[in-house]
Structure 1
Amino acid sequence: MARSRENTRARLLEAAHEVFGEVGLGAASVEAICERAGFTRGAFYSNFETKDELFLALITELAEEKLDEVAVRVRDLSRGEDPVDLVRQIADISLAERMDPQLLSEMRTQALRDPRLAEAYLGWRSQMRGRVEAIISDVSASHALRLRMPLGDAAQLLLDVSEECGVQSALEQRSRAEASVALQARLEQLVTLLVQTR
Protein backbone atom coordinates (compact mmCIF):
# COMPACT_ATOMS: atom_id res chain seq x y z
CA MET A 1 0.00 0.00 0.00
CA ALA A 2 2.80 2.41 0.96
CA ARG A 3 4.67 1.58 -2.26
CA SER A 4 1.53 2.29 -4.32
CA ARG A 5 1.06 5.64 -2.60
CA GLU A 6 4.70 6.50 -3.23
CA ASN A 7 4.33 5.66 -6.91
CA THR A 8 1.16 7.75 -7.18
CA ARG A 9 2.90 10.71 -5.55
CA ALA A 10 5.93 10.34 -7.82
CA ARG A 11 3.76 10.24 -10.95
CA LEU A 12 1.83 13.32 -9.82
CA LEU A 13 5.09 15.19 -9.21
CA GLU A 14 6.45 14.24 -12.63
CA ALA A 15 3.20 15.25 -14.33
CA ALA A 16 3.18 18.54 -12.41
CA HIS A 17 6.75 19.23 -13.52
CA GLU A 18 5.69 18.81 -17.15
CA VAL A 19 2.49 20.84 -16.84
CA PHE A 20 4.07 23.65 -14.81
CA GLY A 21 6.86 23.86 -17.38
CA GLU A 22 4.37 24.11 -20.24
CA VAL A 23 1.82 26.60 -18.87
CA GLY A 24 3.23 27.99 -15.61
CA LEU A 25 2.08 27.66 -12.03
CA GLY A 26 -0.91 29.98 -12.30
CA ALA A 27 -2.43 28.41 -15.42
CA ALA A 28 -1.78 24.80 -14.40
CA SER A 29 -4.93 23.15 -13.08
CA VAL A 30 -5.28 20.18 -10.77
CA GLU A 31 -7.35 18.53 -13.52
CA ALA A 32 -4.56 18.94 -16.10
CA ILE A 33 -1.99 17.49 -13.72
CA CYS A 34 -4.25 14.53 -12.86
CA GLU A 35 -4.98 13.89 -16.53
CA ARG A 36 -1.27 13.94 -17.41
CA ALA A 37 -0.53 11.51 -14.54
CA GLY A 38 -3.51 9.28 -15.38
CA PHE A 39 -5.20 9.74 -12.00
CA THR A 40 -8.43 11.15 -10.60
CA ARG A 41 -8.73 14.26 -8.43
CA GLY A 42 -9.20 11.91 -5.51
CA ALA A 43 -5.69 10.56 -6.00
CA PHE A 44 -4.38 14.11 -6.06
CA TYR A 45 -6.11 15.16 -2.85
CA SER A 46 -5.05 12.02 -1.03
CA ASN A 47 -1.45 13.19 -1.55
CA PHE A 48 -1.62 16.99 -1.60
CA GLU A 49 -4.02 19.49 -0.08
CA THR A 50 -3.42 22.19 -2.69
CA LYS A 51 -1.60 22.88 -5.95
CA ASP A 52 0.79 25.14 -4.03
CA GLU A 53 1.68 22.28 -1.70
CA LEU A 54 2.37 20.12 -4.75
CA PHE A 55 4.60 22.81 -6.24
CA LEU A 56 6.61 23.16 -3.03
CA ALA A 57 7.02 19.38 -2.90
CA LEU A 58 8.21 19.43 -6.51
CA ILE A 59 10.82 22.16 -6.11
CA THR A 60 12.01 20.53 -2.88
CA GLU A 61 12.48 17.19 -4.64
CA LEU A 62 14.32 18.76 -7.58
CA ALA A 63 16.54 20.87 -5.35
CA GLU A 64 17.35 17.93 -3.08
CA GLU A 65 18.32 15.81 -6.09
CA LYS A 66 20.65 18.55 -7.29
CA LEU A 67 22.18 19.15 -3.88
CA ASP A 68 22.71 15.41 -3.42
CA GLU A 69 24.71 15.40 -6.67
CA VAL A 70 26.78 18.37 -5.50
CA ALA A 71 27.39 16.78 -2.08
CA VAL A 72 28.71 13.63 -3.74
CA ARG A 73 30.95 15.69 -6.03
CA VAL A 74 32.30 17.61 -3.04
CA ARG A 75 33.22 14.37 -1.26
CA ASP A 76 35.13 13.25 -4.36
CA LEU A 77 37.15 16.45 -4.80
CA SER A 78 40.89 16.03 -4.45
CA ARG A 79 42.82 17.98 -1.84
CA GLY A 80 45.21 20.80 -2.60
CA GLU A 81 43.24 22.49 -5.34
CA ASP A 82 42.95 26.27 -5.35
CA PRO A 83 39.60 27.87 -4.53
CA VAL A 84 38.82 28.84 -8.14
CA ASP A 85 39.25 25.24 -9.29
CA LEU A 86 36.96 24.12 -6.49
CA VAL A 87 34.32 26.61 -7.59
CA ARG A 88 34.57 25.36 -11.16
CA GLN A 89 33.88 21.84 -9.96
CA ILE A 90 30.90 22.70 -7.80
CA ALA A 91 29.44 25.41 -10.04
CA ASP A 92 26.46 23.14 -10.64
CA ILE A 93 25.15 24.22 -7.27
CA SER A 94 22.46 26.01 -9.30
CA LEU A 95 19.09 24.70 -8.21
CA ALA A 96 17.55 25.32 -11.59
CA GLU A 97 18.98 22.53 -13.74
CA ARG A 98 15.65 20.71 -13.89
CA MET A 99 13.51 23.70 -12.99
CA ASP A 100 12.58 26.60 -15.23
CA PRO A 101 13.61 29.89 -13.59
CA GLN A 102 10.18 31.16 -14.63
CA LEU A 103 8.54 28.76 -12.18
CA LEU A 104 10.66 29.88 -9.24
CA SER A 105 10.03 33.51 -10.15
CA GLU A 106 6.30 32.85 -10.39
CA MET A 107 6.38 31.10 -7.03
CA ARG A 108 8.09 34.08 -5.42
CA THR A 109 5.57 36.47 -6.97
CA GLN A 110 2.62 34.48 -5.65
CA ALA A 111 4.30 34.17 -2.25
CA LEU A 112 4.42 37.98 -2.06
CA ARG A 113 0.61 38.00 -2.29
CA ASP A 114 -0.18 35.03 -0.06
CA PRO A 115 1.20 34.97 3.51
CA ARG A 116 0.65 31.20 3.86
CA LEU A 117 2.54 30.52 0.65
CA ALA A 118 5.23 32.99 1.70
CA GLU A 119 5.73 31.08 4.96
CA ALA A 120 6.03 27.79 3.07
CA TYR A 121 8.38 29.28 0.49
CA LEU A 122 10.63 30.80 3.16
CA GLY A 123 10.69 27.44 4.93
CA TRP A 124 11.82 25.80 1.71
CA ARG A 125 14.53 28.43 1.22
CA SER A 126 15.75 27.87 4.77
CA GLN A 127 15.94 24.12 4.13
CA MET A 128 17.97 24.67 0.94
CA ARG A 129 20.25 27.10 2.73
CA GLY A 130 20.95 24.46 5.35
CA ARG A 131 21.95 21.96 2.67
CA VAL A 132 24.24 24.50 0.98
CA GLU A 133 25.79 25.36 4.36
CA ALA A 134 26.64 21.70 4.87
CA ILE A 135 28.27 21.51 1.43
CA ILE A 136 30.35 24.66 2.02
CA SER A 137 31.34 23.37 5.45
CA ASP A 138 32.52 20.08 3.93
CA VAL A 139 34.58 21.90 1.27
CA SER A 140 36.09 24.26 3.83
CA ALA A 141 37.01 21.46 6.23
CA SER A 142 38.44 19.07 3.65
CA HIS A 143 40.48 21.74 1.85
CA ALA A 144 41.49 23.88 4.85
CA LEU A 145 39.74 26.97 3.47
CA ARG A 146 38.78 29.92 5.65
CA LEU A 147 35.68 31.93 4.81
CA ARG A 148 35.62 35.72 4.98
CA MET A 149 32.03 35.71 6.25
CA PRO A 150 29.82 33.53 8.43
CA LEU A 151 28.89 30.19 6.92
CA GLY A 152 25.18 31.01 6.76
CA ASP A 153 25.82 34.28 4.92
CA ALA A 154 28.05 32.51 2.40
CA ALA A 155 25.37 29.89 1.75
CA GLN A 156 22.69 32.56 1.31
CA LEU A 157 24.90 34.50 -1.09
CA LEU A 158 25.53 31.42 -3.22
CA LEU A 159 21.81 30.61 -3.32
CA ASP A 160 20.87 34.17 -4.24
CA VAL A 161 23.49 34.49 -6.97
CA SER A 162 22.67 31.05 -8.37
CA GLU A 163 18.95 31.77 -8.63
CA GLU A 164 19.35 35.28 -10.04
CA CYS A 165 21.90 34.08 -12.58
CA GLY A 166 19.37 31.47 -13.70
CA VAL A 167 16.70 34.15 -14.13
CA GLN A 168 19.10 36.41 -16.05
CA SER A 169 20.04 33.54 -18.39
CA ALA A 170 16.36 32.77 -18.98
CA LEU A 171 15.66 36.42 -19.82
CA GLU A 172 18.54 36.38 -22.27
CA GLN A 173 17.29 33.06 -23.70
CA ARG A 174 20.60 31.31 -23.18
CA SER A 175 20.93 27.58 -23.67
CA ARG A 176 21.46 25.37 -20.63
CA ALA A 177 25.16 25.08 -21.47
CA GLU A 178 25.50 28.85 -21.83
CA ALA A 179 23.64 29.37 -18.55
CA SER A 180 26.04 26.97 -16.81
CA VAL A 181 29.06 28.89 -18.13
CA ALA A 182 27.53 32.20 -17.00
CA LEU A 183 26.87 30.81 -13.52
CA GLN A 184 30.39 29.43 -13.26
CA ALA A 185 31.86 32.81 -14.20
CA ARG A 186 29.70 34.59 -11.63
CA LEU A 187 30.62 32.14 -8.86
CA GLU A 188 34.31 32.47 -9.67
CA GLN A 189 33.95 36.21 -9.07
CA LEU A 190 32.65 35.41 -5.60
CA VAL A 191 35.65 33.32 -4.59
CA THR A 192 37.72 36.31 -3.47
CA LEU A 193 34.77 37.54 -1.41
CA LEU A 194 34.14 34.20 0.22
CA VAL A 195 37.57 32.62 0.72
CA GLN A 196 40.64 33.99 2.45
CA THR A 197 43.75 33.33 0.41
CA ARG A 198 46.74 31.83 2.14
Structure 2
Amino acid sequence: MPGRAGRPGRPARPSRRAPPRTCPTRAPVDAPAYRIHSCIVSAADLDRPGRRRAATVERLLDAALETFAEVGFAAATVEDVCRRGGFTRGAFYSSFRTKDELFAALYARETSRELARVEQQLAGIEAEDDPIAAAVARCLDTFRADRTWVLVHTEYALHAARHPEAAAALREHTGAVRARVARLVEDATARVGLRLTVPAEHLARMLLALHDGVVVSQVTDSATDTAAAGTDLERTALLLLLRSAVSG
Protein backbone atom coordinates (compact mmCIF):
# COMPACT_ATOMS: atom_id res chain seq x y z
CA MET A 1 0.00 0.00 0.00
CA PRO A 2 1.40 3.40 -0.80
CA GLY A 3 2.62 5.46 2.13
CA ARG A 4 3.48 2.66 4.60
CA ALA A 5 7.03 2.17 3.53
CA GLY A 6 7.74 5.83 3.94
CA ARG A 7 6.23 6.55 7.38
CA PRO A 8 8.27 9.20 9.11
CA GLY A 9 9.82 8.66 12.54
CA ARG A 10 10.28 4.89 12.41
CA PRO A 11 13.95 3.83 11.97
CA ALA A 12 14.70 1.01 9.60
CA ARG A 13 15.15 -2.36 11.28
CA PRO A 14 18.67 -3.77 11.21
CA SER A 15 18.91 -6.91 9.16
CA ARG A 16 19.05 -10.13 11.23
CA ARG A 17 20.49 -12.09 8.37
CA ALA A 18 23.92 -13.48 9.32
CA PRO A 19 26.82 -12.47 7.13
CA PRO A 20 27.89 -15.12 4.62
CA ARG A 21 30.24 -17.68 6.09
CA THR A 22 33.71 -17.60 4.73
CA CYS A 23 36.59 -19.99 5.05
CA PRO A 24 40.20 -18.96 4.61
CA THR A 25 41.94 -20.37 1.58
CA ARG A 26 45.00 -22.12 2.93
CA ALA A 27 46.01 -23.93 -0.22
CA PRO A 28 48.80 -22.41 -2.29
CA VAL A 29 47.86 -21.35 -5.80
CA ASP A 30 49.44 -24.39 -7.43
CA ALA A 31 48.04 -26.97 -4.99
CA PRO A 32 45.09 -29.13 -6.11
CA ALA A 33 42.01 -28.08 -4.16
CA TYR A 34 38.40 -29.16 -3.74
CA ARG A 35 35.39 -26.94 -2.98
CA ILE A 36 33.52 -28.33 0.00
CA HIS A 37 30.62 -26.42 1.63
CA SER A 38 31.83 -23.21 -0.01
CA CYS A 39 35.32 -23.62 1.49
CA ILE A 40 38.57 -24.29 -0.34
CA VAL A 41 40.48 -27.19 1.21
CA SER A 42 43.88 -28.24 -0.03
CA ALA A 43 44.62 -31.82 -1.02
CA ALA A 44 47.25 -31.89 1.73
CA ASP A 45 44.57 -31.01 4.31
CA LEU A 46 42.30 -33.76 3.03
CA ASP A 47 45.08 -36.31 3.23
CA ARG A 48 46.22 -35.33 6.72
CA PRO A 49 44.17 -38.03 8.58
CA GLY A 50 45.62 -40.67 6.26
CA ARG A 51 49.15 -39.46 6.93
CA ARG A 52 48.53 -39.46 10.67
CA ARG A 53 47.19 -43.00 10.55
CA ALA A 54 50.17 -44.16 8.47
CA ALA A 55 52.54 -42.58 11.01
CA THR A 56 50.69 -44.33 13.85
CA VAL A 57 50.97 -47.69 12.08
CA GLU A 58 54.71 -47.19 11.52
CA ARG A 59 55.27 -46.41 15.20
CA LEU A 60 53.22 -49.43 16.23
CA LEU A 61 55.30 -51.64 13.93
CA ASP A 62 58.53 -50.22 15.37
CA ALA A 63 57.26 -50.87 18.90
CA ALA A 64 56.14 -54.38 17.96
CA LEU A 65 59.53 -55.25 16.47
CA GLU A 66 61.35 -54.18 19.64
CA THR A 67 58.82 -55.80 21.98
CA PHE A 68 58.68 -59.14 20.15
CA ALA A 69 62.48 -59.29 20.03
CA GLU A 70 62.80 -58.51 23.74
CA VAL A 71 60.15 -60.73 25.31
CA GLY A 72 59.08 -63.01 22.46
CA PHE A 73 55.95 -63.00 20.32
CA ALA A 74 54.02 -65.40 22.53
CA ALA A 75 54.78 -63.54 25.77
CA ALA A 76 54.24 -60.04 24.37
CA THR A 77 50.83 -58.46 24.93
CA VAL A 78 49.02 -55.70 23.10
CA GLU A 79 49.54 -53.57 26.21
CA ASP A 80 53.31 -54.15 26.00
CA VAL A 81 53.38 -52.92 22.41
CA CYS A 82 51.19 -49.90 23.21
CA ARG A 83 53.28 -48.99 26.23
CA ARG A 84 56.50 -49.08 24.25
CA GLY A 85 55.02 -47.05 21.41
CA GLY A 86 53.19 -44.59 23.66
CA PHE A 87 49.71 -45.53 22.44
CA THR A 88 46.38 -46.51 23.94
CA ARG A 89 44.68 -49.82 23.25
CA GLY A 90 42.16 -47.87 21.19
CA ALA A 91 44.92 -46.65 18.89
CA PHE A 92 46.10 -50.23 18.44
CA TYR A 93 42.68 -51.69 17.69
CA SER A 94 41.87 -48.90 15.24
CA SER A 95 44.69 -50.29 13.08
CA PHE A 96 44.94 -54.01 13.91
CA ARG A 97 42.44 -56.57 15.10
CA THR A 98 44.92 -59.05 16.58
CA LYS A 99 48.56 -59.49 17.45
CA ASP A 100 48.93 -61.89 14.51
CA GLU A 101 47.60 -59.20 12.16
CA LEU A 102 50.20 -56.84 13.60
CA PHE A 103 52.93 -59.37 12.83
CA ALA A 104 51.62 -59.78 9.28
CA ALA A 105 52.03 -56.04 8.70
CA LEU A 106 55.48 -56.13 10.29
CA TYR A 107 56.51 -59.05 8.08
CA ALA A 108 55.28 -57.25 4.97
CA ARG A 109 57.21 -54.11 5.86
CA GLU A 110 60.50 -55.80 6.71
CA THR A 111 60.54 -58.15 3.72
CA SER A 112 59.51 -55.35 1.37
CA ARG A 113 62.45 -53.27 2.57
CA GLU A 114 64.86 -56.16 2.10
CA LEU A 115 63.64 -56.97 -1.39
CA ALA A 116 63.79 -53.32 -2.42
CA ARG A 117 67.46 -53.30 -1.41
CA VAL A 118 68.07 -56.50 -3.40
CA GLU A 119 66.46 -54.95 -6.48
CA GLN A 120 68.63 -51.87 -6.07
CA GLN A 121 71.80 -53.95 -5.78
CA LEU A 122 70.96 -55.99 -8.88
CA ALA A 123 70.63 -52.87 -11.03
CA GLY A 124 73.41 -52.62 -13.58
CA ILE A 125 74.98 -56.06 -13.03
CA GLU A 126 74.85 -56.66 -16.79
CA ALA A 127 77.81 -54.28 -17.10
CA GLU A 128 79.99 -56.46 -14.83
CA ASP A 129 82.54 -58.96 -16.20
CA ASP A 130 81.15 -61.66 -13.89
CA PRO A 131 77.54 -60.65 -13.18
CA ILE A 132 76.81 -63.62 -10.91
CA ALA A 133 79.77 -62.91 -8.65
CA ALA A 134 78.91 -59.20 -8.70
CA ALA A 135 75.30 -59.87 -7.70
CA VAL A 136 76.35 -62.10 -4.79
CA ALA A 137 79.01 -59.65 -3.59
CA ARG A 138 76.70 -56.65 -3.76
CA CYS A 139 73.88 -58.34 -1.89
CA LEU A 140 76.10 -59.79 0.84
CA ASP A 141 77.92 -56.49 1.30
CA THR A 142 74.55 -54.78 1.73
CA PHE A 143 72.94 -57.30 4.04
CA ARG A 144 74.07 -58.09 7.52
CA ALA A 145 72.16 -60.41 9.80
CA ASP A 146 69.61 -58.18 11.57
CA ARG A 147 69.48 -59.90 14.92
CA THR A 148 66.22 -58.20 15.94
CA TRP A 149 64.26 -59.23 12.85
CA VAL A 150 65.78 -62.72 12.71
CA LEU A 151 64.72 -63.35 16.32
CA VAL A 152 61.18 -62.14 15.68
CA HIS A 153 60.79 -64.01 12.39
CA THR A 154 62.19 -67.27 13.78
CA GLU A 155 60.03 -67.19 16.89
CA TYR A 156 56.90 -66.48 14.89
CA ALA A 157 57.70 -69.46 12.67
CA LEU A 158 57.73 -71.62 15.82
CA HIS A 159 54.44 -70.05 16.91
CA ALA A 160 52.95 -70.81 13.49
CA ALA A 161 54.08 -74.44 13.73
CA ARG A 162 51.72 -74.84 16.71
CA HIS A 163 48.82 -72.72 15.41
CA PRO A 164 47.26 -73.72 12.06
CA GLU A 165 45.74 -70.30 11.33
CA ALA A 166 49.07 -68.56 11.89
CA ALA A 167 50.77 -71.21 9.74
CA ALA A 168 48.35 -70.59 6.87
CA ALA A 169 48.93 -66.83 7.05
CA LEU A 170 52.70 -67.28 7.19
CA ARG A 171 52.63 -69.59 4.16
CA GLU A 172 50.73 -66.93 2.24
CA HIS A 173 53.24 -64.23 3.19
CA THR A 174 56.32 -66.34 2.43
CA GLY A 175 54.76 -67.43 -0.85
CA ALA A 176 54.42 -63.78 -1.88
CA VAL A 177 58.08 -63.17 -0.99
CA ARG A 178 59.21 -66.22 -3.00
CA ALA A 179 57.20 -65.03 -6.00
CA ARG A 180 58.88 -61.63 -5.86
CA VAL A 181 62.34 -63.20 -5.50
CA ALA A 182 61.57 -65.44 -8.48
CA ARG A 183 60.69 -62.39 -10.58
CA LEU A 184 63.92 -60.65 -9.55
CA VAL A 185 65.91 -63.75 -10.51
CA GLU A 186 64.17 -64.07 -13.88
CA ASP A 187 64.70 -60.39 -14.67
CA ALA A 188 68.38 -60.38 -13.66
CA THR A 189 69.08 -63.60 -15.58
CA ALA A 190 67.50 -62.22 -18.74
CA ARG A 191 69.40 -58.94 -18.48
CA VAL A 192 72.79 -60.68 -18.33
CA GLY A 193 71.94 -62.98 -21.25
CA LEU A 194 71.69 -66.24 -19.28
CA ARG A 195 68.98 -68.88 -19.05
CA LEU A 196 67.65 -70.62 -15.96
CA THR A 197 67.97 -74.40 -15.93
CA VAL A 198 65.54 -74.79 -13.01
CA PRO A 199 62.16 -73.15 -12.39
CA ALA A 200 62.61 -69.64 -10.99
CA GLU A 201 60.34 -70.41 -8.06
CA HIS A 202 62.41 -73.46 -7.06
CA LEU A 203 65.58 -71.39 -7.19
CA ALA A 204 63.93 -68.66 -5.11
CA ARG A 205 62.94 -71.22 -2.48
CA MET A 206 66.52 -72.54 -2.30
CA LEU A 207 68.01 -69.05 -2.10
CA LEU A 208 65.71 -68.05 0.75
CA ALA A 209 66.31 -71.30 2.65
CA LEU A 210 70.06 -70.85 2.34
CA HIS A 211 69.93 -67.24 3.47
CA ASP A 212 67.62 -67.96 6.41
CA GLY A 213 69.81 -70.81 7.64
CA VAL A 214 72.98 -68.73 7.55
CA VAL A 215 71.54 -65.67 9.30
CA VAL A 216 70.05 -67.78 12.09
CA SER A 217 73.46 -69.33 12.75
CA GLN A 218 75.04 -65.86 12.69
CA VAL A 219 72.73 -64.33 15.30
CA THR A 220 73.08 -67.30 17.65
CA ASP A 221 76.85 -66.87 17.74
CA SER A 222 78.07 -63.37 18.57
CA ALA A 223 81.73 -64.07 17.79
CA THR A 224 82.92 -61.77 14.99
CA ASP A 225 85.08 -64.42 13.35
CA THR A 226 82.18 -66.88 13.32
CA ALA A 227 79.88 -64.30 11.75
CA ALA A 228 82.49 -63.58 9.07
CA ALA A 229 82.86 -67.30 8.43
CA GLY A 230 79.09 -67.51 8.00
CA THR A 231 79.16 -64.76 5.39
CA ASP A 232 81.98 -66.50 3.51
CA LEU A 233 80.05 -69.76 3.65
CA GLU A 234 76.93 -68.10 2.26
CA ARG A 235 78.97 -66.42 -0.49
CA THR A 236 80.45 -69.76 -1.58
CA ALA A 237 77.12 -71.57 -1.40
CA LEU A 238 75.32 -68.84 -3.37
CA LEU A 239 77.93 -68.88 -6.11
CA LEU A 240 77.72 -72.67 -6.42
CA LEU A 241 73.93 -72.61 -6.43
CA LEU A 242 73.54 -69.80 -8.95
CA ARG A 243 76.23 -71.04 -11.35
CA SER A 244 74.62 -74.48 -11.41
CA ALA A 245 71.16 -72.99 -12.01
CA VAL A 246 71.98 -71.02 -15.18
CA SER A 247 73.49 -71.64 -18.57
CA GLY A 248 74.83 -69.36 -21.30
| TM-score for both structures, normalised by structure 2 | 0.72
Answer yes or no: is 1:47 the counterpart of 2:90: no
Contact 2:63 2:81 (8 Å CA) reproduced: yes
Residue 76 of structure 1 and its aligned partner are, at CA, apart by: 3.1
| Structure 2 unaligned blocks of 5 or more | 1-48
Residues 105 and 5 of structure 1: CA distance in aligned 2, closer, same or farther (over 3 Å): same
Radius of gyration: which is bigger?
2
Residue 99 of structure 1 and its aligned partner are, at CA, apart by: 4.4
Residues 114 and 13 of structure 1: CA distance in aligned 2, closer, same or farther (over 3 Å): same
Please give the residue correspondences for 1:26-65 in structure 2 after superposition, counting only pairs within 5 Å: 26-65=74-113
Residue 132 of structure 1 and its aligned partner are, at CA, apart by: 0.6
Residue 60 of structure 1 and its aligned partner are, at CA, apart by: 1.4
Letter in 2 for 1:25: F
Identify which of 120, 126, 141 aligns with 2:169.
120
Identify which of 147, 150, 153 aligns with 2:199.
150
Letter in 2 for 1:32: D
CA distance in 2 between partners of 1:70 and 1:127 (Å): 16
Q: Which has the higher helix share?
A: 1
| Range 175-184 or range 109-118, more displaced | 175-184
Query: Highest relative contact order (Cα 8 Å, sep 6+), 1 or 2?
Result: 1
Post-superposition CA distance 1:164-186 (Å, at most 9, x none): 11112223335596354443233
Residues 54 and 29 of structure 1: CA distance in aligned 2, closer, same or farther (over 3 Å): same
| Structure 1 unaligned blocks of 5 or more | none
CA distance in 1 between partners of 2:212 and 2:65 (Å): 18
Residue 98 of structure 1 and its aligned partner are, at CA, apart by: 6.7
Match of 1:184 in 2: 235
Residues 76 and 97 of structure 1: CA distance in aligned 2, closer, same or farther (over 3 Å): farther
Identify which of 144, 151, 155 aligns with 1:106.
155
Answer yes or no: is 1:172 the counterpart of 2:218: no
Residues 181 and 33 of structure 1: CA distance in aligned 2, closer, same or farther (over 3 Å): farther
CA distance in 1 between partners of 2:197 and 2:134 (Å): 18
Letter in 2 for 1:43: A
CA distance in 2 between partners of 1:125 and 1:93 (Å): 22
Contact 1:12 1:34 (8 Å CA) reproduced: yes
Post-superposition CA distance 1:16-67 (Å, at most 9, x none): 1111121221222111110111100111111111111111211210110111
Contact 1:67 1:93 (8 Å CA) reproduced: no
CA distance in 2 between partners of 1:52 and 1:92 (Å): 32
Letter in 2 for 1:67: L
**What is the root-mean-square deviation in Å for CA atoms of aligned residues?**
2.3
CA distance in 1 between partners of 2:208 and 2:124 (Å): 22
| TM-score for both structures, normalised by structure 1 | 0.89
CA distance in 2 between partners of 1:111 and 1:93 (Å): 29
